[in-house]
Amino acid sequence: MEINNKYYSEMEKFEIININDGDKYDYLGNNDIIVDEQGNLKALILNCNRSKFSLFSKDEFKEIEWDCVKKIGYRTIIIDVEYEELK
């Protein structure tokens, strides 16, 4: 069985997309990941601020459990989260 390792330096350019509603949450490098003591990925922290001009807007962050990550593709990370869980 072949192991497919992905490095964060490569993944930071991956776009995060929710398959439930098609929303895009920018690139992984503009969001964050929670890793436990054993090195397991636990959650994504998504910056839900849609504005490119964040001078007058406050940042809004949502924590998404790693179980919601359905696929890590060639250039995307696909998540499956209900609208009510994000907003």
> What CATH code is carried by the domain that includes residue 57?
2.30.30
Task: Indicate whether 2 belongs to any domain.
Answer: no
Domain that holds residue 48: 10-86
Task: Indicate whether 35 belongs to any domain.
Answer: yes
Q: Domains in the chain: how many in total?
A: 1
Cα(59)–Cα(36) distance, rounded to whole angstroms? 24
What is the reported pLDDT for 30? 87
Q: Is 59 exposed, middle or buried (0-12, 13-18, 19+ CB in 10 A)?
A: exposed
Identify the three-state secondary structure at position 26. strand
Cα(41)–Cα(19) distance, rounded to whole angstroms? 20
What is the reported pLDDT for 54? 55
Task: Indicate whether 15 belongs to any domain.
Answer: yes
What is the reported pLDDT for 34? 92
Per-residue pLDDT tens over the stretch 36-66: 999 888 999 988 765 555 555 667 888 999 9
